[in-house]
């Protein structure tokens, strides 16, 4: 079980992820709707795992990962994006993300990724 | 150097492939129609811009009931009101993101903008030319996939 911060600009996607994570026994301690909001909430809530969207207004997800990793090098972040090209995955991993899920996703894939990120 | 027409054909084909990959129901696409000047909307639509090697916009529009059924098929729950609007935005994000992924394997780098969801009767202007394809989704209904490319 982990305390999770969900970052996505779509309320629908946050609801989907929240349902899946709760079913998997995790606790969603916060939600953010853009990268800037995510950095602030990360600092305030100190989640154990972050799910991070990429395409968002104000600040996109990969930049938010860089800022969060600067603040906390041990931050455990999994990307959850509709863009799955190699370059995007490489950039996210280089920024410090541990895993990458491409939308639309299966429930089990999300929970498996959280396990992977936690054991990292 | 490929012509704009050739590139537009590739994106349109890729866009329709993405619609089929993202929405897990049998889909039948009608013949694409070219139009000028404006796009009319009667219920719900969503616009995603793309930038990079190619510039343009993707619009997906249709009746709320159809989007509701797509949401129910994909995520097993009925959606309405703001959650339905948010789903329509996310659907376009997934289709455009998938298109961007597929285009990258064809050597084209395109990035996408967050979706803008448009609700109600409206008209979009500032369009030189566009291509519209009606896609019939089994047990859901019809949606329009519109591609606006820029010179
Ligand atoms: Mg997004």
Q: Are strands B33-41 and B116-119 parallel, antiparallel or unpaired?
A: unpaired
Q: What is the domain partition of chain A in residue ranges?
A: 3-119
Position A115 scores a pLDDT of 96
Tens digits of residue pLDDT in A64-92:
999 999 999 999 999 999 999 999 999 99
State chain B's maximal CA–CA distance in angstroms: 47
Position B127 scores a pLDDT of 86
Q: Which of B83, B94, B98 sits opposite A15 (nearest CB)?
A: B83
Q: Give the burial class of B125: count Cβ atoms within 10 A of its Cβ; 0-12 exposed, 13-18 middle, 19 or more buried.
A: exposed
Position B30 scores a pLDDT of 95
Structure tokens at B82: 């703001």
Q: Please tell me the number of Cα atoms within 13 Å of B149 on its side-chain side.
A: 18
Give residue B90 CA to ligand 1 midpoint distance, Å. Answer: 7
Q: In Å, how far is B140's CA from the nearest CA of chain A?
A: 19
Assigned CATH topology for domain B4-149: Chemotaxis protein chec (3.40.1550)
Q: Which of B94, B109, B112 sits opposite A104 (nearest CB)?
A: B94
| Inter-chain CB proximity A82 and B93 less than 8 Å | yes
SS (H, E, C) chain B: CCCHHHHHHHHHHHHHHHHHHHCCCCEEECCCEEEEEEEEECCEEEEEEEEECCCEEEEEEECHHHHHHHHHHHHCCCCCHHHHHHHHHHHHHHHHHHHHHHHHCCCCCEEECCCEEEECCEEEEEEEEEEEEEEEECCCEEEEEEEEECC
Tens digits of residue pLDDT in A13-58:
999 999 999 999 999 999 999 999 999 999 999 999 999 999 999 9
Would you mind telling me the total number of residues written for chain A in this entry?
120
| Inter-chain CB proximity B94 and A103 less than 8 Å | yes
b (16+ CB within 10 A) / e for A68-90: beeeeeebbbbbbbbbbbeebbe
Residue ranges of chain B whose pLDDT lies below 70: 1-2, 4, 150-151
| Inter-chain CB proximity B83 and A11 less than 8 Å | yes
A104 preceded by a cis bond (ω within 30 of 0) = yes
If you average pLDDT over every residue of chain B, what do you get? 92
- Which of B97, B109, B116 is most worth mutating to test chain A (most A CB atoms within 10 A of its CB)? B97
Class of domain A3-119: alpha beta
Position B2 scores a pLDDT of 63
Which residue of B lies nearest to A85 if distances are taken between CA atoms?
B101
């Amino acid at each position: 079980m982990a305390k999770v911060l969900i970052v996505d600009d779509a309320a629908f996607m946050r609801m989907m992820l929240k349902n899946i994570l709760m079913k998997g026994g995790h606790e969603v301690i916060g939600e953010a709707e853009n990268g800037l909001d995510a950095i602030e909430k990360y600092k305030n809530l100190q989640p154990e795992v972050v799910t991070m969207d990429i395409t968002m207004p104000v600040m996109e997800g990969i930049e938010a990962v860089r800022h969060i990793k600067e603040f906390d090098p041990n931050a455990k972040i999994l990307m959850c994006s509709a863009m799955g090209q190699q370059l995007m995955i490489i950039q996210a991993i280089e920024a410090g993300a541990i895993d990458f899920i491409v939308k639309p996703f299966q429930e089990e894939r999300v929970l498996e990724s959280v396990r992977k990120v936690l054991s990292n | 150097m490929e012509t704009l027409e050739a590139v537009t054909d590739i994106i349109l084909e890729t866009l329709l492939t993405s619609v089929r990959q993202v929405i897990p129901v049998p889909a039948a696409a009608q013949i694409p129609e070219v139009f000028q000047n404006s796009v009319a909307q009667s219920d719900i639509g969503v616009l995603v811009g793309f930038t990079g090697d190619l510039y343009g916009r993707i619009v997906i529009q249709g009746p709320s009931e159809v989007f509701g059924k797509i949401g129910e098929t994909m995520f097993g729950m009925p959606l309405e009101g703001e959650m339905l609007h948010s789903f329509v935005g996310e659907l376009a994000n997934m289709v455009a993101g998938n298109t961007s992924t597929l285009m990258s394997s064809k050597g084209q780098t395109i990035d996408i903008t967050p979706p803008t969801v448009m609700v109600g009767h409206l008209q979009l202007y500032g369009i030189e030319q566009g291509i519209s394809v009606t896609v019939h989704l089994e047990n859901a209904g019809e949606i329009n996939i519109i591609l606006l490319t820029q010179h």
